[in-house]
């Protein structure tokens, strides 16, 4: 059912921990009977034969494009190889248990719900605070307005129809634009009743990357002013991402909160949103 893509990148001079993390993540995914293929896309500048051998030794696949790949390019290179009805995009510092795949598949109603654009799990660490709120798990699966690109399951045909991961950003706001597209298409992001261990910012904190957050922020503000709200959560107008009427109205009110308090209020709103959406649905 699942074609599982792990995006790997090793900056020059980094120790073996990134390769070890990738192999461990792949070894966990390959255990699930719901996963047909685990493919590691190596976006590093040079091919890594030792990593390729280690992955093939556990039953996973390895590919290198012959050049360095940006964040979105790595995922899109893998998407082109998917031959399963659902494709999972996974960072190399995410460690999923077998139950994660089972719960994601259950949330997707065995992959047959055409209203779903993406299914995500809770994470032990996330830039998106409510994705850390494992205490809300009994309320899941629930509809959420945003996601992070850490572990994301998409219907493959739909993922390809939207062009995969947007390439206009180096690593920030790619997930925001995907979330907005899902909402525009009348589909939902579901948060499943499962939690993945996330080894925080393993690649980003390991040396030089191709991600430029400052440049991405400036580009987002200039290119997508309709989605931009200064001092909002991630500087987003959350009303553009929420689907249900009451939450959308509450998100719209954030525009009238003083800028000094707007981000704090937006965090509180997002933290309560899974409960509110669950009650509505």
- What per-residue confidence (pLDDT) applies to 276? 64
Residue 265: which pLDDT band, with cuts at 50, 70 and 90?
confident
Q: Which of 105, 143, 100, 149 is nearest to 121 (CA)?
A: 100
Q: Which of 144, 149, 198 is nearest to 173 (CA)?
A: 149
- What per-residue confidence (pLDDT) applies to 275? 66
Residue 98 in this model has a pLDDT that exceeds 90: yes
Percent of the chain whose predicted confidence (pLDDT) is above 70: 92
Please tell me the pTM assigned to this model.
0.92
Find tokens 């890594």 and name the residue: 48
Higher pLDDT, 280 or 153: 153
pLDDT per residue as tens digits for the range 43-83: 999 999 999 999 999 999 999 999 999 999 999 999 999 99
Query: Which string of b and e fits 39-52 if b means at least 16 CB within 10 Å?
Result: bbbbbbeeebeebb
- Phi then psi for residue 186, to 5 deg, are 75, 20
Q: In sequence order, what are the residues at sequence separation of 6 or more whose Cβ sits closer than 8 angstroms to the Cβ of residue 91?
A: 6, 7, 149, 150, 151, 198, 203
- Which domains are assigned to the chain? 2-224 (3.90.550.10)
Q: How many CB atoms lie within 10 A of CB 265?
A: 16
Residue 278: which pLDDT band, with cuts at 50, 70 and 90?
low
Average pLDDT over residues 1-14: 90
- Token duo for residue 198: 């996330």
User: In the predicted model, what is the mean pLDDT of the chain?
Assistant: 90
* Most confident range, picked from 25-39, 182-196, 258-272: 25-39
pLDDT per residue as tens digits for the range 159-181: 999 999 999 998 889 999 999 99
To which H or E segment does residue 157 belong? helix 156-161
- What per-residue confidence (pLDDT) applies to 59? 97
Higher pLDDT, 87 or 272: 87
**Cβ atoms of residues 39 and 73 within 8 Å:** no
**Cβ atoms of residues 119 and 192 within 8 Å:** yes
Q: Which of 149, 150, 165 is nearest to 74 (CA)?
A: 165
- Phi then psi for residue 60, to 5 deg, are -95, 170
Residue 280 in this model has a pLDDT that exceeds 60: no
Average pLDDT over residues 272-279: 65
Peptide bond into 141 cis (omega under 30): yes
- Token duo for residue 267: 């965090």
Residue 188 in this model has a pLDDT that exceeds 70: yes
- What per-residue confidence (pLDDT) applies to 259? 87
pLDDT per residue as tens digits for the range 99-118: 999 999 999 887 778 899 99
Residue 139: which pLDDT band, with cuts at 50, 70 and 90?
low
Residue 151 in this model has a pLDDT that exceeds 90: yes
């Amino acid at each position: 059912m699942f074609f599982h893509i792990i995006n790997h990148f090793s900056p020059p001079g980094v120790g073996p921990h990134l390769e070890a993390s990738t192999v461990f993540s792949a070894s966990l995914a390959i255990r699930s009977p719901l996963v047909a293929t685990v493919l590691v896309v190596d976006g590093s500048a040079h091919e890594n034969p030792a990593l390729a051998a280690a992955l093939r030794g556990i039953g996973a696949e390895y590919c290198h494009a012959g050049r360095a790949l940006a964040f979105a390019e790595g995922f899109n290179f893998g998407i082109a190889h998917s031959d399963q009805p659902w494709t999972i995009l996974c960072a190399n510092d995410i460690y999923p248990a077998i139950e994660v795949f089972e719960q994601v598949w259950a949330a997707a109603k065995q992959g047959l719900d055409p209203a779903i654009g993406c299914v995500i799990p809770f994470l032990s660490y996330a830039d998106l605070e409510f994705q850390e709120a494992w205490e809300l798990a009994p309320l899941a699966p629930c509809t959420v307005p945003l996601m992070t690109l850490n572990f994301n399951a998409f219907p493959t045909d739909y993922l390809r129809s939207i062009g995969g991961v947007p390439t206009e950003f180096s690593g920030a706001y790619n997930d925001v634009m995907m979330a907005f597209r899902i909402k525009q298409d009348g589909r939902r992001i579901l948060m499943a009743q499962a939690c993945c261990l996330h080894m925080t910012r393993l690649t980003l904190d390991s040396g030089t990357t191709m991600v430029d957050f400052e440049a991405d922020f400036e580009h987002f503000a200039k290119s997508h002013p309709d989605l931009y709200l200064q001092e909002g959560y991630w500087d987003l107008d959350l009303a553009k991402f929420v689907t249900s009427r009451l939450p959308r109205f509450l998100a719209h009110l954030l525009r009238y909160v003083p800028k000094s308090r707007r981000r704090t209020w937006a965090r509180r709103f997002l933290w309560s949103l899974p409960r509110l959406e669950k009650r509505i649905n």
